[in-house]
Chain A
Amino acid sequence: MKLISSLLVAGILTVSTAVVAKPLYMFITHASVGAASSVFWQAVKNGMEDACELYDADCQMVYLQSEDGNIGEEIANFNAAIAAGADGIATTIYDETTWDDPVDDALAQGINVISFNIDDENSPNNRQAYIGQSLRVAGYDLMVDLNKRFLPQEGPMHILIGVNAPGQVWSEMRTSGEEDWIKEFAAANPDRAITYEKLDVGYAEDVMNRASAYILANPQTNVYVSSGLWGPDLAIALEENGYNKGDIIIGGFDVVPSVVECLKSGWCHATVDQQPYLQGYLPVVQFFLRDKYGLGDWSVNTGALMLHAEDMAALEEFSKSGVR
């Protein structure tokens, strides 16, 4: 499977480079073809395509044919992109050592390499820049923001942390950031009963099922934060079960129409916009500037923007068009 997919990638790229003399920028992702249907990855792709049109580049987003996070297949795709003579490779990096040699190989051949969406922030390899959200920081910042604006300032607090994708780095790191804040906050407020629990809540209707079951079984819960965009599914269950807005403070990630509606209605309280469009757009800009003027090596944390109900009106149109 890996061989076939690598040959396919190399074949397509070889043909496209032979026919078109534009610079070739490859985006190698850890997302599978199935995950590519998500709102998030479509926004990344839209960003890439818009930038490539603007800078007259030939671009390709390569998804995995097997499952999310198949590291062997992603490395095979990365090597195929090198073999195809890409001018720039943007890749998702989520292991401390696996990408070290392939990145060095690419750089040695004069190919620019940028990590996007996810990066081994603790021990970065020689990639030239990272365009994406600092995942742990984003989870931490979400809690800081919620505390500043919505969380109860006295009395006990029990927080349910919904892990939308257990085992996936993006999900685990975000919830780790949330967990870090809670631990620090609890230590700083020894007079208050601050507790939390992590739960695999899955996606969509699983969130509705599991998170609402948890809240029924643990009625002391007054905050729900997660690693993804499915807070609205819990909000629907809460609304129909007679809860009031604000009984449970809901915070999460990303901006899609359902999150926008939930924030506007007051059932959801804050979301972190990691601006996926920028994660597709900015690597292309950096590849172009490096090729043309030698400018580069600038990393961007795309994911520190906190959004609330009052931000929705301005944002709504962009969400509909798959940009935000």
Chain B
Amino acid sequence: MNLRKSFKYVASRPEFAALTIFIIIAITFYIINENFLNFRNLRVLLTISPEIALIAMGATILMVSGEFDLSVGSVFALSGVVMVVLTNEGVNAHLAFTIALLMCIVIGYINATITIRFGIPSFIATLGTMFMVRSIAIVIVKADFPTFPMEEMYWLRAIFANPIPGTIFRMSFIWFILITILLIFYLHRSNYGNWSYSTGANQAAAKAMGVNSNNVKIRNFILCSFLAGLAGIFMVLRTRAAFPSVGVGYELQAIAASVIGGASLFGGIGTVFGACVGAFLLKFLDNGLVMARLDVNWFRFAVGTLLIFAVIANTNLRRIANKMRD
């Protein structure tokens, strides 16, 4: 009986299918090439995966409340560019960092305002801001491709990006873990989380229950932009280069990671942990295909297959779990 209950609980979890696929893929690639899980490769994977995972977590929380944000890739590019350009202009690096993140918050608020105030689907509203924000990033660097100010960024790199000596981790990974814990608390252990789920599942019912859905969405739009901006800053600090062209296509990768991790495009379903698993799965798959000596031209095919398979698996597992009696 307990076993049955446990299975029902696990199978009904949105991230279960993704986690299962993740484990299978990791083991398969390891069998094909044992270097897949060696320290050097894990160091690379744990460096790049948190950045897309941060974006995916923000996207998932927003999707849970029933909205999308297609501007995350552009925000990812803009935050780093603004931070570096301001620092090169003589602004204190920590202040530039803060301004860049505040700007991301403002973009999130604008996304929310356009969507809620004017009743425009967020898909369209954020498609517009996606172009606008990318344009701003281009204009900012137009005549002065920013050299990374190594000296001024010393402490920011030490706090947010540098490798931790003697380990395979970077500081960005530690921040990623801390943020993940906070977001898990936010979405799964706080009233705002409950209100996000109820808003995404049935906004009219949520409003009837007294939930301020607009307020919930505004918070989630802001959170989504903030996390995308922070990920962009992590990348700039890591690579020591700020390009306005980075992050193109990240919005779709983030949505793919969210959906693979069990989030529903219709709102009301999704978890922070699932988003992480989805994001890591995408990067591990990319890496593993190379390790396995498979043609990487098939990467997009693999992601597409994974996406469809994960959604089908999630849907069926939930159906099975719902049919099971306690």
Binding site for B on A (CB under 8 A): 33-39, 42, 46, 166, 199-201, 203-206, 208-210, 212-214, 216-217, 232-233, 236-237, 240-242, 256-258, 261, 316, 319-322
Contact = CB atoms under 8 A, between A and B. Distances in A.
Nearest to A33: B131
B40 A34 contact: no
A209 B134 contact: no
Nearest to B49: A209
Nearest to A233: B239
Instruction: Please classify how large the interface on chain B is, using the bins under 10, 10 to 19, 20 to 34, 35 or more.
Output: 35 or more
A213 B37 CA distance: 11
Contact of B145 (A206, A213, A256): A256
Interface string B279-304: 00001001110110101110100000
Contacts of A257: 145-148, 241
A159 to B, nearest CB: 16
B241 A205 contact: no
Q: Is the interface of B mostly helix, strand, loop or mixed?
A: helix
A213 B245 contact: no
Contacts of B148: 257-258, 261
B142 A212 contact: no
Given A37-B245, A199-B290, A321-B144, A258 B48 contact: no
B143 interface: yes
Which 6 pairs between the two chains have the least Cβ-Cβ distance? A258-B241, A213-B290, A241-B40, A37-B245, A200-B296, A38-B245
Given A199-B290, A200-B299, A322-B142, A232 B241 contact: yes
Contacts of A319: 145, 147
B41 A46 contact: no
Nearest to B246: A204
A230 B33 CA distance: 26
9 contacts: A34-B134, A39-B243, A206-B286, A208-B48, A210-B286, A236-B239, A237-B44, A257-B147, A258-B239
B191 to A, nearest CB: 36
B77 interface: yes
A208 B47 contact: yes
B134 A37 contact: yes
A209 B283 contact: yes
B125 interface: no
Contacts of B293: 217
B148 to A, nearest CB: 7
A213 B142 contact: no
A68 B198 CA distance: 41
Contacts of A206: 286
A241 B243 contact: no
B145 A216 contact: no
A233 B44 CA distance: 11
A35 B243 CA distance: 12
Interface of B: 33, 35, 38, 40-41, 43-45, 47-48, 51, 77, 131, 134, 137-138, 141-148, 163, 235, 238-241, 243-246, 248, 283, 286-288, 290-291, 293, 295-297, 299
A214 B290 contact: yes
Contact of B44 (A35, A201, A241): A241
Contacts of A203: 246
Contact of B138 (A36, A199, A261): A36
Contacts of A208: 44, 47-48
B45 to A, nearest CB: 7
B290 A205 contact: no
B36 to A, nearest CB: 8
B131 A212 contact: no
A159 B9 CA distance: 51
B138 A37 contact: yes
Contact of A209 (B48, B142, B240, B241): B48
Contacts of B239: 204-205, 232-233, 236, 258
Contact of B141 (A42, A213, A236, A316): A42
A167 to B, nearest CB: 9
A234 to B, nearest CB: 10
A200 B297 contact: yes
B297 A166 contact: yes
Contacts of A241: 40, 43-44
Contact of A39 (B40, B143, B145, B248): B145
B136 to A, nearest CB: 10
Contacts of A42: 138, 141-142, 145
A37 B287 CA distance: 27
Contact of B137 (A37, A204, A242): A37
A37 B44 contact: no
Nearest to B162: A240
A267 to B, nearest CB: 12
B213 to A, nearest CB: 33
B37 to A, nearest CB: 11
A210 to B, nearest CB: 5
Nearest to B283: A209
Contacts of B297: 166, 200
Contacts of A35: 245
B240 A261 contact: yes
Given A166-B297, A200-B299, A208-B47, A38 B290 contact: no
Contacts of B291: 213-214, 216-217
Given A37-B77, A209-B283, A258 B290 contact: no
Nearest to A45: B142
A203 B297 CA distance: 14
